[in-house]
């Protein structure tokens, strides 16, 4: 009650000082909107005031959308969709040549795949902690892994698994991101050929692929990656060991029955056959030793890729099985690397396995037998630390900052259970709406979890939001875990696909760029071969081909007229000359499926055949300035052999000396405003504010352009060419307006952020 009372008083005090006409108090609003004290507390815990920022950024899988969703915690405000496996027009992804090259790395057997089923994002780690550098995510449907660079939140690479036909147990990283694991899901032959289902046991296979990540270049190196083959047990989620268990990986499986359904053939379905036995197998793999075996030439090449066969794995003692409760889902290694928690979807227990006990059994050769493929099986009891009844349908587990405390998602009961895995006791439960899948705590899969918040990634939303038709949004629920009792704070709809897993990182660890180095190919992270400087724009014509080296800057696209002949191949390269924060230009063209995003500094290209004569307007798609609508141009595709006729020229209005004088008068007045704004900024300690320094630089640039335009206007006026003199004076004014606009933004920033006057600065 004290808190609420304080809030009310504070709100009342603010209302009085801020606006004497605001009569509604916090109590009034609560009454009007039917809010309880608990609601208001939840709001206060999640509300991020305008202009302020979140403490964590979550990277959530975008499910069938093939994207990654970025949102803030605790506000749950969506900030970005990172396009990964699917074209995304806003970012120009799949439209410019540079990103098309990334997408085409993801072709499956030569076919373009323009969607993905993204499941598990993984943040890169150094010494087991997030380092804020890279993000990886898998595609379950088409076994692929993508690499996203957190320098600019863009997808840089897609690798296709050379032997799997689906994958689920990825992406997870080793404690220094040497490897990214991807485990198979549905067994299939490793070779790309037909094998009858009758040979399921003999020829269908699962496995774990260890993708080598090259930190220096920020890319996966497929030539140094390898796969450990496994029986057709339908492998599922995986995790890497850390600390004492570093060097090992753990992978679940959910159909060790190796059942093959066939409803239409009169057989019971997969779901019956795959849950017949009480247990499935946890795969325990010594990946460090596996990597050594590959280096020693003991791998077999399949589809040109290094594979350690089951036979070799058994002979060299790198793979072991442990029975686990049937149809398990997640396997999650503890922060200290000593335990792994596994839970069976069809059971009410979570099992805590001890890595030490597993090692003891392996070292003593203490096995209960072998499976049909000769892999040693460790007795469940010999590996177990303890088991806890956590609820029906436990799926995934995340760790808290408090020692021994974990949270497990309970699918069937729609709950989160908080429990102690050292002592084996349940501490708290909270209801979820509805059917939770994964859950995520802050840094909950690292060596140093930060606790604070938990997000429940729910499968069903049902009645939580305004109805929008039979297809409902997904629901992420934010839960406060800072106290003894879990508190539900917020429901966030996700309208983009089923997000399976998410990873959240403290924003202190992220240092994303504001602009690219000038003329940058962001996808290769190198200077673009097509970088174009201001004033160096050109159109290069060779037989059958027209190549444009263009630029964009407020508020024009250079060139503004491109003439080609019907049938020509047109190659556009545009460099955004802007250096100002957030001054992105777009480029869209009629009828050619050309749509580009030009962030400051970026160079992108588009290639197409101008196969039909006609007129094709193009324009900027980002409202970048007051004259954004004028940021336009024409592609003119002439019929073959077209000859320009005399008298075709001349369009638009004409101007005289009076028009010129009028424009110059306006410009002189505008300059006075600019001078006063600049005077104000220089009179403040503006150098203490980096955003203002950047704005100021941009303003100086724009003023430089104004000077150039003025010179051209002066020259034309000297020749009494009032037409061009007026037009150039107009252009001079355009640059002044932009300068004034930026200057005013800088001034406002200084005023709102407590800048102070400095003495002795003369304007």
Whether the CA torsion 30, 32, 35, 37 is positive or negative: it is: positive
Q: Taking CB within 5 to 8 Å according to partner kind, which of ligand CUA, ligand K7E, none is near residue 585?
A: ligand CUA
385 binds, among ligand K7E, ligand CUA, none (CB under 5 to 8 A by kind): none
- 3-class SS of residue 591: coil
Asked whether position 144 contacts ligand K7E by CB under 6 A, the answer is no
Token pair of 212 as six digits: 């080598």
**Which residue, 44 or 629, has its beta carbon nearer to ligand CUA?**
629
Does 500 participate in binding ligand K7E (rule CB under 6 A)? yes
* DSSP classification of residue 265: G
> If binding is defined by CB under 6 A, does position 523 make contact with ligand K7E?
no
Q: 636 pairs with which residues across the strands?
A: 563, 615
Which of 120, 288, 338, 476 is in the footprint of ligand K7E by CB under 6 A?
120
| Shortest Å distance, C-beta 159 to ligand K7E | 19
Instruction: Write out the binding residues for ligand K7E, residues 307-366 only, by CB under 6 A.
Output: 329
Interacting residues of 28 by C-beta distance below 8 A, sequence separation 6+: none
| Rounded CA separation 321/280 (Å) | 9
List the beta strands (DSSP E) in 274-402: 279-286, 300-302, 305-308, 319-325, 328-333, 339-344, 349-354, 369-370, 376-377, 384-389, 394-399
How far, in Å, are 408, 473, 490 from residue 86 at the CA level? 32, 19, 29
> Where does residue 207 rank: exposed (0-12), middle (13-18), buried (19+ CB within 10 A)?
buried
Of 135, 148, 624, 674, which one interacts with ligand CUA (CB under 6 A)? 624
Query: Which residue among 40, 148, 284, 395 contacts ligand K7E (CB under 6 A)?
Result: 395
x/- track of binding to ligand CUA for residues 578-597 (CB under 6 A): -------x------------
Q: Which does 456 bind (CB under 5 to 8 A by kind): ligand K7E, ligand CUA, none?
A: none
SS3 185: coil
438 binds ligand K7E (CB under 6 A): yes
Name residues contacting ligand CUA, limited to 407-436 (CB under 6 A): none
Annotate 99-134 with b (16+ C-beta within 10 A) or e (fewer).
bbebbeebebeeeebebbbbbbbbbbbeebbbbbbb
To ligand CUA, the closest distance from the beta carbon of 36 in angstroms equals 46
Residue 141 binds which of ligand K7E, ligand CUA, none (CB < 5-8 A, kind-dependent): none
* Residue 33 CA neighbour count, 13 Å, CB half: 12
Residue 306 vs 599, nearer CB to ligand CUA: 599
Q: Does 622 bind ligand CUA (CB under 6 A)?
A: yes
For residue 120, the partner it binds in ligand CUA, ligand K7E, none, with Cβ less than 5 to 8 A by kind, is ligand K7E
Q: How many residues touch ligand K7E (CB under 6 A)?
A: 10
Would you state the torsion angle of the CA atoms of residues 745, 746, 752, 756, taken in this order, to the nearest 10 degrees?
Answer: -160
Structure tokens given for 204 = 């269908």
* Least separation in angstroms between CB 410 and ligand CUA: 50
Place of tokens 């046991």: 201
631 interface partner picked from ligand K7E, ligand CUA, none, CB below 5 to 8 A per type: ligand CUA
Q: In terms of CB distance, is 9 or 626 closer to ligand CUA?
A: 626
Residue 631 binds ligand CUA, judged by CB under 6 A: yes
Partner from ligand CUA, ligand K7E, none contacting 399, C-beta within 5 to 8 A by type: none
Q: Residue 564 pairs with which residues in a beta bridge?
A: 637
Applying CB under 6 A, does 620 fall inside the site for ligand CUA? yes
Tokens representing 489? 């704070």
Contact residues for ligand CUA, defined by CB under 6 A:
585, 620, 622-624, 628, 631
Contact residues for ligand K7E, defined by CB under 6 A:
119-120, 168, 237, 329, 395, 437-438, 500-501
């Amino acid at each position: 009650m004290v808190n609420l009372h304080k809030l009310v008083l504070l709100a009342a005090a603010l209302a009085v000082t801020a606006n004497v006409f605001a009569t509604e108090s916090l109590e009034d609003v609560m009454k009007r909107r039917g809010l309880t004290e608990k609601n208001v507390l939840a709001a206060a815990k999640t509300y991020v005031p305008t202009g302020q920022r979140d403490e964590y950024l979550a990277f959530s899988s975008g499910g069938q959308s093939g994207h990654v969703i970025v949102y803030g915690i605790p506000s749950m405000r969506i900030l970005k969709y990172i396009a990964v496996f699917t074209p995304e027009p806003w970012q120009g992804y799949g439209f410019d040549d540079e990103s098309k090259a990334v997408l085409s790395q993801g072709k499956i057997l030569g076919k373009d795949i323009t969607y993905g089923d993204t499941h598990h994002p993984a943040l890169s780690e150094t010494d087991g902690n997030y380092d804020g550098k890279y993000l990886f995510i898998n595609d379950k449907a088409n076994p692929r892994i993508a690499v996203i660079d957190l320098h600019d939140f863009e997808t840089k690479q897609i690798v296709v698994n050379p032997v799997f036909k689906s994958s689920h147990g990825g992406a997870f990283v080793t404690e220094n991101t040497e490897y990214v694991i991807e485990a198979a899901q549905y067994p299939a032959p490793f070779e790309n050929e037909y094998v009858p289902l009758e040979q399921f046991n003999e020829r269908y296979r699962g496995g774990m692929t260890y993708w080598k990540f090259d930190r220096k270049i920020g890319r996966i190196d497929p030539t140094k990656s390898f796969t450990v083959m496994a029986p057709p047990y339908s492998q599922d989620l995986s995790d890497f060991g850390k600390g004492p268990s570093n060097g090992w990986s753990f992978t679940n499986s959910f159909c060790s029955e190796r059942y093959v359904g066939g409803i239409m053939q009169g057989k019971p379905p997969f779901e019956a056959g795959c849950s017949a036995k009480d247990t499935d197998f946890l795969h325990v793999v010594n990946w460090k030793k596996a990597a050594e075996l590959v280096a020693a030439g003991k791998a077999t090449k399949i589809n040109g890729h290094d594979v350690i066969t089951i036979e070799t794995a058994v002979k060299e003692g790198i793979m072991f099985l442990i029975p686990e409760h049937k149809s398990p889902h997640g396997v999650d290694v503890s922060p200290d690397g000593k335990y792994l928690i596994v839970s069976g979807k069809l059971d009410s227990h979570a099992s805590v396995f001890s890595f030490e006990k597993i090692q003891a059994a392996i070292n003593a050769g203490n096995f209960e037998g072998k499976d049909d493929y000769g892999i040693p099986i460790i007795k469940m009891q010999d590996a177990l630390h303890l088991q806890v009844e956590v609820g029906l349908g436990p799926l995934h587990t995340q760790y808290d900052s408090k020692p021994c405390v974990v949270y497990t998602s309970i699918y069937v009961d729609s709950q989160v259970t908080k429990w102690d895995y050292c002592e084996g006791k349940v501490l708290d439960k909270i209801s979820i709406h509805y059917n939770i899948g994964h859950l995520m705590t802050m840094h909950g899969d690292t060596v140093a979890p930060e606790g604070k918040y938990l997000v429940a990634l729910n499968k069903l939303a049902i009645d939580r939001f305004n109805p929008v038709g039979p297809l409902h949004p997904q629901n992420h629920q934010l839960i406060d875990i800072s106290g003894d009792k879990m508190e539900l704070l917020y429901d966030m709809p996700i309208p983009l696909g089923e997000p399976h897993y998410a990873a959240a990182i403290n924003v202190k660890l992220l240092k994303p760029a504001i602009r690219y180095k000038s003329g940058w190919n962001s996808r290769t992270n190198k200077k673009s071969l097509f970088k174009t400087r201001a004033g160096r724009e050109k159109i290069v014509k060779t037989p059958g081909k027209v190549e444009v080296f263009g630029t964009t800057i407020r508020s024009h696209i250079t060139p503004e007229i491109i003439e080609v002949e019907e049938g020509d191949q047109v190659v556009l390269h545009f460099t955004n000359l802007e250096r100002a924060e957030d001054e992105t230009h777009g480029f869209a063209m009629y009828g050619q499926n050309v749509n580009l995003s030009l962030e400051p500094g970026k160079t992108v290209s588009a290639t197409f055949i101008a196969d039909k004569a006609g007129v094709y307007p193009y324009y900027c798609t980002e409202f970048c300035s007051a004259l954004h609508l004028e940021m336009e141009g024409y592609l003119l595709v002439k019929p073959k052999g077209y000859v320009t006729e005399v008298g075709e020229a001349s369009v638009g209005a004409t101007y005289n000396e009076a028009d010129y004088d009028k424009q110059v008068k306006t410009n002189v007045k505008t300059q006075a405003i600019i001078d006063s704004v600049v005077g104000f900024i220089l009179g403040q300690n503006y150098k203490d504010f980096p955003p203002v320094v950047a704005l100021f630089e941009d303003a100086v640039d724009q003023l430089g352009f104004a000077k150039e335009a003025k010179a051209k206007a002066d020259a034309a006026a000297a020749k009494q060419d009032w037409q061009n003199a007026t037009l150039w004076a107009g252009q001079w004014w355009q640059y002044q307006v932009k300068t004034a606009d930026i200057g005013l933004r800088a001034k406002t920033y200084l005023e709102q952020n407590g800048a102070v006057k400095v003495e002795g600065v003369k304007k």
